[in-house]
Amino acid sequence: MSLEFLVGIMLVYLGITTIFSWEKMHQHDHSGRATYLKSMFVGIVHGLAGSAAMVLLTMSTIDLVWQGAIYIIIFGVGTCVGMLLFTTILSIPFDTSTSSIKVNHSLIRLTGVVSVVFGIYYMYNLGVNDELFRVWFG
């Protein structure tokens, strides 16, 4: 649950940076290395919080190594394909709105706000309702 809480923090951070990213767009800031590192960090946190736990749970029920390897390959390919399709579908409104800067920036800011609100809700739910704070602080 602590890793899931980290996902909530990451959602809030990404939302805030997205809300204010329109200022950077005007400055034409093309720091590719930072973007790749940020994407890698998001992937690692996301994987550790959800996918890795799911793989470990399933692997504890498998007796043969080759079955485990096949499961990991199928799970990994399925996860990649699923995320690719999902993000492609989600990107359609952003791609089609590029002709209208105002609509595009509004969509970007709306996405940031949704990310912040959901991140706060997610952290609250884990901390209070699922009692993660009680585990941390006694």
Q: pLDDT value at position 123?
A: 96
What whole-number distance in Å separates Cα of residue 90 and Cα of residue 96?
Answer: 11
Q: pLDDT value at position 23?
A: 62
Using DSSP, state whether 117 is helix, strand or coil: helix
Task: Convert the pLDDT of each residue in 40-63 to its tens digit.
Answer: 888 888 777 777 778 888 888 888
Work out the mean pLDDT of the chain and round it to a whole number.
Answer: 86
Task: Convert the pLDDT of each residue in 25-36 to its tens digit.
Answer: 555 555 567 777
Exposed (0-12), middle (13-18) or buried (19+): which is 45, by Cβ within 10 Å?
Answer: middle
Domain boundaries, position 117: 2-137
Instruction: Count structural domains, the chain.
Output: 1
Please name the amino acid found at residue 39: S
On the question of pLDDT at 83 being above 80, the answer is: yes
